[in-house]
Structure 1
């Protein structure tokens, strides 16, 4: 799954550690998502990330 998590996280000046604290998702899991090492992201986590980063879910995860 292609995603723009790194782009929007950096655009919002949020570190992985801060995003982990805000979302409740581990730094390791966020790193795997950012780098495309997993396609298995829970919908609830995807929604949480889109809300924290103030970006549409479809835009964040490049869903057409």
Structure 2
């Protein structure tokens, strides 16, 4: 079980609701923007590379 499961579940539920609201309104919410997703992927890639190499990886 994840610690703070209730808070995590509530946050996930709010994120899903924001996605549904965006689909219904046709507007892109800031929290689910393509730019934010791109930046999150950059961070994930840098984390994985850091684990593989044992070095700090700058995120541009």
Give the TM-score category using the shorter length. Answer: under 0.3
Structure number having the greater helix percentage? 2
Query: So what's the TM-score if we normalise by structure 2?
Result: 0.26
- Relative contact order (C-alpha < 8 Å, sep 6+): which is higher? 1
Query: So what's the TM-score if we normalise by structure 1?
Result: 0.25
User: Whose radius of gyration is greater, 1 or 2?
Assistant: 2
